[in-house]
Amino acid sequence: MAKSSADDEELRRACEAAIEGTKQKIVMSIRVAKSRGIWGKSGRLGRNMAKPRVLALSVKSKGQETEAFLRVLKYSSGGVLEPAKLYKLKHLSKVEVVTNDPSGCTFTLGFDNLRSQSVAPPQWIMRNIDDRNRLLLCILNICKDVLGCLPKVVGVDIVEMALWAKENTPSVTTQRNLQDGPVATTVPESGMKVTVEKELVSQVEEEDIEALLGTYVMGIGEAEAFSERLKRELHALEAANVHAILESEPLVDEVLQGLEAATSCVDDMDDWLGMFNVKLRHMREDIESIESRNNKLEMQSVNNKSLIEELDKLLERLRVPSEYAACLTGGSFDEARMLQNVEACEWLTGALRGLQVPNLDPSYAKMRAVKDKRAELEKLKATFVRRASEFLRNYFASLVDFMIGDKSYFSQRGQLKRPDHADLRYKCRTYARLLQHLKSLDKSCLGPLRKAYCSSLNLLLRREAREFANELRASTKASRNPTVWLEASTGGSQSGNSADTSAVSDAYAKMLTIFIPLLVDESSFFAHFMCFEVPALAPPGGVANGSKSGSYDDDTNDDDLGIMDIDDNDSKAGKTSADLQSLNESLQDLLDGIQEDFYAVVDWAYKIDPLRCISMHGITERYLSGQKADAAGFVRLLLGALESKISMQFSRFVDEACHQIERNERNVRQMGVLSYIPRFATLATRMEQYIQGQSRDLVDQAYTKFVSVMFATLEKLAQTDPKYADIFLLENYAAFQNSLYDLANVVPTLAKFYHQASEAYEQACTRHISMIIYYQFERLFQFARKIEDLMFTISAEEIPFQLGLSKMDLRKMLKSSLSGVDKSITAMYKKLQKNLTSEELLPSLWDKCKKEFLDKYDSFAQLVAKIYPTETIPSVSEMRDLLASM
């Protein structure tokens, strides 16, 4: 017999490892297959559903009590056993061997404490009958010894199992102390594996059975005698049966007669039943026909009822209420009647939408009544849109005409009037809801309405701006400043006493403070009032002047029309480019022409003080940076145009000043410092005082142009008299540095030109000083230059033998150049002083001259020491002492 898995020590150890920590001891472990397969007609189990499992019987002692368990273990993905199910054997109620399995290796275990008794218990499939008997015997023994009761056994003879245990399990009996006394355990000879088994019939019970069987004398000791006895008894039984049959013949005849009579009756009954069946079949067919017709009538009745209901609903949808029809065709548009008009519009919008295919069954859309009603509603819509559009156009014009006719709305002489459109917007908001409905009914009607509104309001805005600008200029008192700053012919103190013109830029700032928030508010109100799909605008007034949003007037929420979108589907988060383009075109019509009054204020300010363009440019830039490219985009364009206008006017001033500088070229010979040098410093100081916000770039550009022209003109004037060019240049560049020293420390652009002037000054100084030195010591330094030139072609030892460079020539040159050197140096100082008009420059120039002379003489002394080592000349230190003493 093949070795059973119940004898596998490794399997037992794996099971013990899986339940480690439970204080349970493994009694038996055996491999099985778990299946819920169904035995088919062929009697073979669906094995493809079987899963490998291990059944382990374990016991656990708790004081004087012992518990027995049946554990089901499965293999994990790594091939390690792990607990899957745990059953207590005290709940085992039935052990059933599946009879449909020919092999007898399949059985089920029934437990009475399972929650769902309707689910079939799993079937356990053993490898062979031996393994099955071994497991079941072990279970029954444990149940009897530990629990004191046996489960119901079905499908297997318990006596046969006991006999199998005696025949197949030779063992050594050991004793184990459990709760109910000693339990006999068997140890197989092969491997001495311990298994739990028990005699199913006790010795006393076996003796009782043998005594009971002994009471019956069966006489089966001799086979032949027993066979003869059985034959005799069989013949006696057959004879008795024949005799009984012969005696019952009259009874049989009576039975046969009764059967014939019954057969006749049955035949008659069969005929009658056949007739009744035919009649019933015909009756059934008639009933079916009646039921069919009745069902059709009932269906038709239901359909007709549903059709009438649908038609009633359709008629209700097609009905035009008389009050709405009257309101749409001839109602008044007064403020008191606006609620009725809005309700009529809402009904008309809903009715038209209800007759569209998505909201109406497509089969209804083709009906003539629906088409006629749709045409009627379209006619109502066209009539109402035409009447409402005509009313609103006249209403806008009448509102503006009324305001223009009342002079108290505008600035008057001696009184600046802040424009107030609160009442105008309040009256317009009355019809905002009506405009929303007009848009939903016919979007094309908004174009003429927008044009009419823009045309009317444009007249009002231009009138307000014109009157305000005129009164602003009239009420602002400011003396005119000169426009000629750098003209050579003007007096020296002309630009020093400039009047205060801050009132001019304040007036311009006031114009922007009043009208820019107004224009932003008007743009915002127009965009919302005229139903443009644009996002929320930037808060009006919250720009450069630092005023709070809505500081323009008391109506801080004018662009909130207090309405909701009629159709949620029409409210879109993003604006389309087409709608934005249309809005910009309408805003152009609304605000076009108002820029002329702003231009007039700019021109007026320029005439009083051109430098005020700097502060006006900064004010405009501050407002411009606070505007966004939204529905108020035209206001941004207006500010941009103002900025360009101011920049153009300032450029005009800069160009005129540059022309004034360039006119110096055509004047007589210039000497000393040019007049525009100090005047430019005064002009730059004044310009720095006017800078506001972002106007630094404008001023820096002007500086660049001014200084470029000044330096270019200076160089051209210097070329007219080359003899005194260097003196002229160094005096003017020095004056430029002196006048702009303070500004150059704080203005980067001027600092750049300051360094440029410093470099030009140094170059002019170097050229002029070299000219003076060569004039007094020409022979000395010409001799040195000849030596230097020859050193490139011949050696130093050969130079004293060249023509004109002998030692005798050197002595003659030193005698003529250095005899009376103090007089030559004095003459050099006088020549430096002679043509210099700026006396304050003389000390620094004389120091540069002495240093330059000593450097040149030092180079000459080194050449003489190298070429004429035996000749002696005055040393450099002697020459330095001589210069210092003079």
Note the pLDDT tens digit of each residue in 267-284: 889 989 989 999 999 999
Q: What is the pLDDT of residues 504-534, one digit of tens each?
A: 888 888 888 888 888 888 888 888 887 777 6
Amino acid letter for position 571:
S
The pLDDT value given to residue 725: 77
CB of 458 within 8 A of CB of 592? yes
Q: CA 23 to CA 5: how far, in whole Å?
A: 23
Q: CA 377 to CA 582: how far, in whole Å?
A: 29
Mean pLDDT of 146-173: 76
CB of 556 within 8 A of CB of 539? no
Q: Find, among 66, 65, 80, 113, the residue nearest to 11 by Cα.
A: 80
Token reading at 121: 């218990």
| Sequence spans of domains, the chain | 5-37+49-168, 273-319, 668-885
Q: How many CB atoms lie within 10 A of CB 414?
A: 8
Place of tokens 């030092």: 858
CB of 758 within 8 A of CB of 766? no
Q: What is the pLDDT of residues 397-411, one digit of tens each?
A: 888 888 777 666 666
Helix (H) / strand (E) containing 175: strand 174-178
> What is the chain's length?
886
Alpha helix segments (H runs only) across 101-222: 129-142, 158-168, 203-214
Show the 3-state SS of 24-88: CEEEEEEEEEEECCCCCCCCCCCHHHCEEEEEEEEEEEECCEEEEEEEEEEECCCCCEEEEEEEE
- The answer to which of 196-205, 219-228, 766-775, 787-796 has the lowest mean pLDDT is 196-205
The pLDDT value given to residue 867: 78
Q: Find, among 537, 699, 676, the residue nearest to 610 by Cα.
A: 699
Mean pLDDT of 418-437: 80
The pLDDT value given to residue 172: 40
> Is the pLDDT confidence value at 843 over 80?
no
Structure-model confidence comparison of residues 711 and 311, the more confident one: 711
> Is the pLDDT confidence value at 184 over 60?
no
Give backbone dihedrals phi and psi of 21, rounded to 5 degrees, phi first: 95, -5
> Is the pLDDT confidence value at 133 over 50?
yes
Token reading at 263: 């057969």
Token reading at 603: 């021109």
Q: CA 10 to CA 18: how far, in whole Å?
A: 12
The CATH label, of 2.40.50.100, 3.40.50.720, 2.30.29.90, 1.10.3210.10, for the domain at 5-37+49-168 is: 2.30.29.90
The pLDDT value given to residue 30: 92
Token reading at 535: 């996002």
What is the band of 573 on the pLDDT scale with cuts at 50, 70, 90? very low
- The answer to which of 50-59, 466-475, 703-712, 781-790 has the lowest mean pLDDT is 781-790
The pLDDT value given to residue 528: 82
What distances in angstroms separate CA 84 from CA 18, 22, 37, 93, 528, one per listed residue? 10, 14, 20, 21, 72
- The answer to which of 5-9, 32-36, 140-144 has the lowest mean pLDDT is 5-9
CB of 612 within 8 A of CB of 601? no
Structure-model confidence comparison of residues 378 and 707, the more confident one: 707
> Is the pLDDT confidence value at 223 over 90?
no
Amino acid letter for position 619:
I
Buried (b) or exposed (e) across 48-60, using 16+ Cβ within 10 A? Answer: eebeebbbbbbbe
Q: Find, among 548, 547, 546, 552, the residue nearest to 524 by Cα.
A: 552
If you ran DSSP here, which 8-state letter would residue 548 be given?
A: P
> Is the pLDDT confidence value at 194 over 90?
no
The pLDDT value given to residue 666: 58
Q: For residue 530, with 0-12 CB atoms within 10 Å meaning exposed, 13-18 middle and 19 or more buried, which class applies?
A: buried
Q: What is the pLDDT of residues 740-761, one digit of tens each?
A: 888 888 888 888 888 888 888 8
Pairing of strands 181-186, 123-125: unpaired
Give backbone dihedrals phi and psi of 586, rounded to 5 degrees, phi first: -65, -40
Mean pLDDT of 426-440: 78
Structure-model confidence comparison of residues 722 and 258, the more confident one: 258
> Is the pLDDT confidence value at 198 over 60?
no
> Is the pLDDT confidence value at 190 over 50?
no
What is the band of 553 on the pLDDT scale with cuts at 50, 70, 90? very low
Structure-model confidence comparison of residues 5 and 513, the more confident one: 513
